[in-house]
Amino acid sequence: MINDSERAAFEAGIKLGALYHQWVGTPVSIETAEYIEAAIENSVKLQPGVKKITARIDRSLIQPNSYGYSEIAGTMLDIVVETEIGGANCKAKLKKVDDYPLMEIIEIGR
């Protein structure tokens, strides 16, 4: 049997992994980045256990191709998700660390 803290951490990890694979490759431009950030936040908020999410796309990494857009790469994403299960919560993030989109737990509490 797992406890609420373990479940909150699991849920945070699942949310980050799923959104990473869902959004990487999505067409993006400087003009549409804010809409994609909002879509990420609004879709993840619907899922069980999500207390809060913030999604940011690093606009400095958006390099338009000859058609005027780029594609989201994992290194462009800066996401923080907070989950709450029972009396426990978890805060986890996805952020570029040394040119790698690293997912990690920031804190777990009750």
Total length of the chain: 110
Q: Which residue has the tokens 């191709």?
A: 65
- Tens digits of per-residue pLDDT, 25-52? 999 999 999 999 999 999 999 999 999 9
Q: What is the pLDDT of residue 98?
A: 93
* Residue 11 to residue 50: CA distance in whole angstroms: 8
Provide the CATH topology of domain 4-109: Pantoate--beta-alanine Ligase; Chain: A,domain 2 (3.30.1300)
CB 20 within 8 A of CB 77: yes
Q: What is the pLDDT of residue 105?
A: 97
Show me where the domains of the chain are located.
4-109
* Residue 10 to residue 107: CA distance in whole angstroms: 13
CB 51 within 8 A of CB 82: yes
Q: In whole angstroms, what separates CA 16 from the centre of its chain?
A: 5
Q: What is the pLDDT of residue 110?
A: 83
Q: What is the pLDDT of residue 102?
A: 96
Per-residue pLDDT of the chain (110 residues; tens, 9 = 90+): 899 999 999 999 999 999 999 999 999 999 999 999 999 999 999 999 999 999 999 999 999 999 999 999 999 999 999 999 999 999 999 999 999 999 999 999 98
Beta strand pairing call for 88-97 and 77-85: antiparallel
CB 75 within 8 A of CB 62: no
